[in-house]
Amino acid sequence: MSDKIATRQAYGETLAKLGATHPEIVVLDGDLSGSTMTKLFAKAYPERFFNMGIAEQNLYGTAAGLALSGKTVFASTFAMFASGRAYEIVRNSIAYTGANVKICATHAGLTVGEDGGSHQCIEDIALMRVIPGMTVVSPADAVSARVLTEKIAELKGPVYFRLGRSAVPVLYPDDATFEIGKAVELRPGNDGAIIATGVMVAEAVAAADRLKEEGLQLRVLDMHTIKPLDEKAILKAASETGGIVTVEEHSVIGGLGGAVAELVVRKQPVPMAMIGVNDVFGQSGKPSELLVAHGLTADHIMEAARRLKQK
């Protein structure tokens, strides 16, 4: 791990670069381009950028219309507004029609920090993965955010792209490769598996590295794509390690943990633990403080992994 960079920053920079090679890309924003980082595209290609104002339903309705007219549309706002306020439009105007809209939602999860529970969206993965035909992607760091932005630009159809506000450790080398729907194994091991997504991948890696010092080899999977889920990697981990800990900056209800459990209980039952937000709203605080308060740290992951090993 090296410098810290926010995934939203990497997304904005990559989107601006894609504008040069993809004239079909248009970008919409809900009056938050300075925060979502679409301002970089807006500066380079003002004729292909549209500020839709604080009107998220109109934002995604217009995005659907542009996509159905042949454009590749990146439409950004905060996760709370994209998945919450505009849900019916996302479902019916974008997903139901198969529109080529990339719903690039920043400021997801507890690490929104001081904005508090009203803006800390911890339900969005559950809401988006239940929509038929919706691809759900949650990059772990700046490198994966950059590559996966490029990947979703080429992918036809609706995508929910989950991005964070806070700077997070860079886990991958610049030449790392990623494939939609394929997990990345960051640490090998057969004493249990930690399956993490988004900004929690760094904590999962830290936990595995510290457990190794105790003689436990934990496999770590970066499940950057939550839908379609990499069933092969999960079932292999379940079979070979005998226990799974899922880790997400999201509610334990309906998110990554739920998706993994739905698969494992049907095809390869093993003991599981779910690290996430336990059916409560967030509160205002520094991101690091909130992760501690809600049990989303390497220490908590280590405790869960040890308990599974004892079963």
Of 298, 3, 247, 219, the closest CA to residue 109 belongs to: 247
Secondary structure, 3-state, 70-136:
CCEEEEEEEHHHHHHHCHHHHHHHHHCCCCCEEEEEECECHHHHHHCCCCCECCHHHHHHCCCCCEE
262 catalytic residue (yes or no): no
Q: Using CA atoms, how far apart are residues 280 and 270, in angstroms rounded to an integer?
A: 27
DSSP string, the chain: ---EEEHHHHHHHHHHHHHHH-TTEEEEESS-HHHHSTHHHHHH-GGGEEE--S-HHHHHHHHHHHHHTT-EEEEEEEHHIIIIITHHHIIIIIITTT--EEEEEESBSGGGGGG-TTT-B-SHHHHHHTSTT-EEE--SSHHHHHHHHHHHHHS-S-EEEE--SSEEE--S-TT---BTTB-EEEE--SS-EEEE-GGGHHHHHHHHHHHHHTT---EEEE--EEES--HHHHHHHHHHHS-EEEEEEEESSSSHHHHHHHHHHHH----EEEEEE-SS---SS-HHHHHHHTT-SHHHHHHHHHHHHH-
Strands 167-169 and 4-6, bridge-based pairing: antiparallel
Residue in 13, 24, 56, 262 annotated catalytic: 56
Residues acting as catalytic residues: 56
